[in-house]
Structure formats: structure tokens, C-alpha cells
Structure 1
Amino acid sequence: MIRILLAEDDQSMRTYIARALENAGYSVDSVDRGTAALPLLEDQDYDLLLSDIVMPEMDGIELAQRCAEVSPRTKVMFITGFAAVSLKASREAPEAKILSKPFHLRDLVLEVERVFEDAATASL
């Protein structure tokens, strides 16, 4: 089963996203900040880090950079409600997909599926 670590500081959004991904068949662990995600990335294997960009203590870009160090095989996807932030993320974390809020849960699940389809195609 594909394992996803969700880092989202907004509790209702975190619950909403986690439930949608679990309903789509993914195993999801969720945390409310980057500093809570980092120890999980160090201790467990995740296939995807799905992270908000703007969070307290450690933003999603820094989290993605640290993820690349401690768990290099984990793919990264950002969710953000700020267009300017997504431009910064695309420059600083070029391997990450970015999904802008608001989005429909169906679109989120499709983007997550594409991440793994792209990986499967690349490994052929």
C-alpha cells in the first residue's frame, strides 16, 4: 500500500485531505507542522510527502529539502493557497508538483495518482 505523509497546519483541511486519500486506498499519516513531519520521515518509509507550503516553525519548502536529505526516495507534492509561494516553491524544489488551493478532492487524488504513474513510467 502506498504510504503518504500529510503535513498541513489547518486541522479541517488536514482531516478533509486525509479522509479523501484514505478513501482512495492510500495509507495516510498526518501532522500539523513540518517539525512534526521530519522525525516520521527519518524513522519510517513514505512514498509521498504531501505538504502545505506555509506552516509554522518549518515551511513546506524547507521540509521538502530536509526530506530529500533523510528520505531521498520519497516524492514531494505541495499544496498551497498562495500563488507567489508556489512560484518560489517551483524554483526551490523543482522535483515537486504543486496543487493550488482551492481544489476539488477528486483533483487532489488524480494528481497523487499521476505522481505514482510518472514514477512507474520513469522506472521502465
Structure 2
Amino acid sequence: MTDPAAAKILLAEDDNDMRRFLVKALQHAGFCVTSFDNGLAAYDQLRVEPFELLLTDIVMPEMDGIELARRATELDPDIKVMFITGFAAVALNPDNQAPSQAKILSKPFHLRDLVNEVHRLLAA
């Protein structure tokens, strides 16, 4: 098992300010973060490079976070998934086929909560 603190995280978030904010917080916590502003670009990166964690918004253009998570877990069944969303009910809807082991962090959240959840998920 790799050191959770050195884990590679793929972040998909279409809000530029939120994305920069999250990248800075996660890098400050010691994670290696690659970020994209849409699910399709994130998925293309997943196809060429392995990541320990997919951190994704749900509502995004081109490919939403649920579709991205589904495809990510098809590529790599071991990848951990965490949704960050203002629409938790969307993620919890069983009809959308989101990966069942995915964590959900509802916006707004404190950065410390995000970092703690990421550590917990990667250590699991």
C-alpha cells in the first residue's frame, strides 16, 4: 500500500475558483493533484495514468461526475471515488449507477474536512 499522503489525486471540477482552492489545499496536505475543468478531459487522463483517488464534482459539462466515476472504476476497479457536490441527493439517487463505495462531500465544506475525508478514504 502506498503512503496515503503521497497519493495521486485526479480532480474534476468545472468551477475555476473552487478547483484552484481544492488543488492548493490538497497539495498543501502533501497530495499530488492533477486537475481538469471537465469530466471528459479527466477521463482521458485516467486512461494514460493511474490515480489512487478520483475527486469529482457531479454537475459538469461534457461528462458529469457520475459518468466519469463509472468509467473510472471500469478502467481501475481499485480507484477510490469521492464526489464533491451541492446536490447530494443527485449522487444518492440509486438510478444513476454511481459507484456504490463512493464518498460524498456536500458543498459547502471546510477544507480541513475535505483533507480529512481524503486521508480516511485513502487509508481504507
Matched, 1:9 2:8: no
User: Closer, same or farther in 2 for the Cα pair 1:97/1:61, shift >3 Å?
Assistant: same
Map of 2:115 onto structure 1 = 109
Residue of structure 2 in register with 1:41 after alignment = 46
Q: Which has the higher helix share?
A: 1
CA RMSD of aligned residues (A): 1.5
Runs of at least 5 residues in structure 1 that lack an aligned partner in the other structure: 119-124
Distance in 1 between the 2:90 and 2:13 partners? 15
**Equivalent pair of 2:55/2:83 in contact (CA under 8 Å):** yes
Matches within 5 A, 1:1-124: 1-88=6-93, 92=97, 93-118=99-124
C-alpha displacement of 1:5? 0.3
Report how many residues are paired: 118
CA distance in 1, matches of 2:43, 2:96: 22
CA spacing shift, 1:22–1:88, aligned 2, 3 Å = same
Q: CA distance change for structure 1 residues 73 and 57 in 2, over 3 Å: closer, same or farther?
A: same
Question: Secondary structure of the equivalent of 2:47?
Answer: helix
Label 1:108 to 1:68 Cα distance change in 2 as closer, same or farther (>3 A): same
Matches of 1:108 and 1:22, distance apart in 2: 12
Per-residue CA deviations over 1:13-51 (Å, capped at 9, x if unaligned) read 000001000000000000001000111111001000000
TM-score (norm 1): 0.90
Q: How far off its partner does 1:90 sit?
A: 9.1
**Residues 88-114 of structure 1: per-residue CA shift (max 9 Å, x gap):** 279622110000000000000000000
Partner amino acid, structure 2, of 1:22: Q
- The residue type paired with residue 8 of structure 1 is E
* Counterpart-to-counterpart distance in 1, 2:26 and 2:53: 12
Moved over 3 A (4+): none
Deviation, structure 1 residue 117: 1.8
